[in-house]
Amino acid sequence: MEKKRIMIVDDEAGLTRLVRLSLEGTGKYEVREENDAMQALASALEFRPDLILLDVVMPDIDGGDVAAQLRKSGPLTQVPIVFLTAIVSRREASTQDDIGGYPFLSKPVALDALVKCIEDHTAAR
Amino acid sequence: MSAPVEPRRVSERLRLSVVTPQGEADALLWRELAKAGADVRIVARLSDAADADAVLIDLAAGARPGLEEIRALHARCPTFPMMVIASEGTEQAALEALEAGARDYLLRDTIRPLELVQAIESIVDRGRTESALARERMYLQNLLENIPDRIYFKDLDSRFLRVSRAMATAFGLASPEDARGRTDRDFFAPEHATRAFDDERELLRTGQAVVSQVEEEVYPDGRRFWMLTTKVPMRDAEGRVVGTFGISRDVTRLKQMEEALDHERNLLRRVIDNIPDAIYVKDLAGRYLVDNRAHQARLGVGGAEAVVGQTVRDFFPPELAAKYLADDRRVLDTGESLMNLEERVGVFGGDPRWHLTTKIPLRAPDGALAGIVCISRDIHAQKMAEEQLRTTNAELERRRLELETVLGDLQASHAALKFAQMHLIQAEKLESVGRLAAGIAHEVKNPLATIRLGVDFLAARGEPMDADARIVLREMAHAVERSDAVIRELLDFSASREMELADADLGLVVDRAMALVRLECERARVALKREASGALPAVRLDRNKAEQVLVNLLLNAVQAMPEGGEVHVRAGVSVSGMPGVVRPDPGDRSGASVRAAGAYAFVVVRDHGPGIEPGLLEKVFDPFFTTKPTGKGTGLGLTVVKKIMEMHNGWITLEAHPESGLVATVAFPVAGHGDAGTTTEELPWKKSGS
């Protein structure tokens, strides 16, 4: 079975490294870390991920803008994007799966929740 | 011995055979006969008298042919002269020979050679003539008896002299003899007989034969026949006309066939002339053999005469003619048809037009190629329409592609816009929770995320781990969760004091809050029960914050029953004092605790958990106060709820019964009755319970 390709865009290198180690440790994923949001588009075009985890609050450019770029890029128009966000209230965490229609995960996130979210939003291989 | 075929020519010598004993061969008589002009041959027996014109049987000299021999010969050739030469003593034998068939007997002594020869000659000639006559008669008889055609001979008065059997039968006569002396009038219808008679008169007058005329014969009973007739004047040996004779053949069937053929030919002609397609046939050399009106029109001529025998070169310019000839050539060389070829064809009096042409090789009955048959249809109009359609389609296709590109662009822009929107949502969020709270949340949650994933990572590693290590990791995970919960509550707590007020149906707000926590309830195996409320008046509230309140209460209720259970929700209206159960906060000097009596819309949330000890009820709204086990609650929830209710000029009360759980009540002023938009008045209120 082919491994799904996951790209994580977040300025926290410690976090992205752990995401990569955790996901690749399951044997089901191949993960690309991108800590510079300005490079996210180029990286994505090269890596061609099956799903992108996107931090919202980043220096220089926020997740929403990165997502907009990705959506206009032709080959990546259809790739599922999941936001990782720190700014979520108790109410939102309990009652919502999306912000403005986009799926999100609130930090901190447990590995099994992360895996479930990835599987929910990508096609089976 | 055969019958002589031809009359003896005058110059020929009479051939005479003489049957006489050998010894008499040199007799004077024979020499004298020879001198008289005969070729004499002496034979011993009658049967040796071959090829002679006549035979002399010399009885006088002692020849004694058998009578049967004589009889047989006579029977075979009745005209063959046999003469007997007798003498005294042989008369009896001579008479017997005569009876057997000999013609005459002569006395030897009185024979005069010259006269004998002449006599024999004349007998022979007559015999020959008679034979010839018999022969001629045989020919005529055969002809008249057997030929199916009608043959007749008439005299100058048009009376039948002789007719053939076929004619006799046609006339209904038993024998041809019965026609003798009768005329046409006896056999045919009057007008026909008259016509025939007149024709014969004319014939006799002019002496001109009428050859192979087709005329109609009419019988008295009305039957009509077509006859192919030849009538000729009959001449005698001197050339004088002595009558007429003729021969007729019944060609009625032939004529009918001819008429049918003609009819069919006319029909076919009419058909091909009516067909609007050009039809024509050419021979192997490319000359037109047959064509139809449509083809003639195309060439601009009036009739077939202008076309037959001509070739394409006579009608078309060289390049076109060459092309047509090449097509013809291809058909003839391959023997295969050229089907449905679309081509531009020259048309007389106009520009070339598109035609659909089919050329087929024409074969003779034995299969050999004999020419080409062609049919060609004018499809100019359809072709023009086709091309128009093609152009239009190409144009449409081009537009479609353009539109698709534009659509693609629009879709991309739309997606971009939606994301920009999300950006705004986040920006709003940042505004609402305040920069500080947002900053804290962000700066704390990110490290927490790292720790969380790190814990999971370590736990998931394949290496064997001792129980203590496993416990440690679990505790670390819990610690992260607690911290996370605190930060969340902090965000709630820091929420902006700005309210978006609008008239709302509290029942709907309750519905929405219940829907939001449904999943959580299912997970905790808690059943949410809503009791009917009846109509609720409009309430002015901030929907989001009101939902937040209700969600908080509901989640608290769910978390109070870890083993599952039921939560009851009820909404209603109260119009006089409220069953307040909470003593006003002594530290609160704002007077907001003094409630205005009036109309309130309220929601009651009741669970069956352990409730809260009465002594702790007043602490419940303090920040960070919680009765939940460590790690489960943060203690900010109710603090926030209370703040929101105060902002609405409403309030919250809690009733605790250890046996029956907690009852939480929130109340919003009804619109126009001291709600959040109006100033509060201090009014006495009654406290019940404690």
- Domains of chain A, each with CATH number or no CATH: 4-122 (3.40.50.2300)
Tell me what percent of the residues of chain B surpass a pLDDT of 90. 26
Q: Residue B635: what pLDDT? A: 63
* More confident of the two residues B344 and B430: B344
* B422/A93 CB distance under 8 A: no
Give whole-number Cα distances, B68 to B20, B46, B99, in Å. 18, 11, 11
- C-alpha–C-alpha distance, residues B636 and B556, integer Å: 12
Of A57, A71, A88, the CB nearest to B412: A71
- C-alpha–C-alpha distance, residues B536 and B368, integer Å: 105
Q: Residue B682: what pLDDT? A: 32
- DSSP letter, residue B52: -
**Confidence (pTM):** 0.38
**ipTM, 2 dp:** 0.77
CB A10 within 8 A of CB A53: yes
Most confident region among B41-45, B325-329, B408-412 by mean pLDDT: B325-329
- C-alpha–C-alpha distance, residues B181 and B523, integer Å: 140
Q: Residue B428: what pLDDT? A: 67
Q: Residue B6: what pLDDT? A: 55
Q: What is the pLDDT of residues B319-341, one digit of tens each?
A: 888 888 998 999 999 988 889 98
Residue of A79, A89, A98, A117 to mutate for B, most B C-beta atoms under 10 A: A89
CB B287 within 8 A of CB B309: yes
A78: closest CA of chain B, how far (Å): 11
Cα dihedral value B350, B352, B357, B361, nearest 10? 90
Of B442, B450, B488, the CB nearest to A18: B450
A115 touches chain B (CB under 8 A): no
* A22/B460 CB distance under 8 A: yes
Q: What is the pLDDT of residues A89-121, one digit of tens each?
A: 655 555 556 665 678 888 888 888 899 999 999
Residue of B419, B514, B547 to mutate for A, most A C-beta atoms under 10 A: B419
Peptide bond into A108 cis (omega under 30): yes
Q: Residue B684: what pLDDT? A: 32
**Torsion angles phi and psi, residue B669, rounded to 5:** -65, 140
Q: Residue B319: what pLDDT? A: 85
- C-alpha–C-alpha distance, residues A104 and A109, integer Å: 11
* Chain A contacts in chain B segment 162-191 (CB below 8 A): none
* Chain A contacts in chain B segment 203-232 (CB below 8 A): none
Beta-strand pair B54-58/B14-19 = parallel
* B416/A71 CB distance under 8 A: yes
B405 touches chain A (CB under 8 A): no
* More confident of the two residues A5 and B431: A5
Say yes or no to pLDDT of B592 above 50. no
* Chain A contacts in chain B segment 515-544 (CB below 8 A): 516-517, 519-520
Q: Residue A97: what pLDDT? A: 60
Q: Which residue in chain A has the smallest CA separation from B487? A: A89
Beta strands in B306-464 (DSSP E): 338-345, 353-363, 369-378
* Chain A contacts in chain B segment 548-587 (CB below 8 A): 548, 551-552, 555
Rounded to the nearest angstrom, the gap between the alpha carbon of residue B245 and the centroid of all alpha carbons in its chain is 67
- C-alpha–C-alpha distance, residues B67 and B99, integer Å: 9
- The mean per-residue pLDDT over the stretch B309-317 comes to 87
CB B462 within 8 A of CB A104: no
Q: Tell me which chain B residues have a C-beta less than 8 angstroms from the C-beta of A16.
A: none
Say yes or no to pLDDT of B574 above 60. yes
B480 touches chain A (CB under 8 A): yes
> Token pair for residue B73?
């010969």
Residue B587 — pLDDT band, cuts 50, 70, 90? very low
Of B417, B420, B449, the CB nearest to A109: B449
Say yes or no to pLDDT of B27 above 80. no
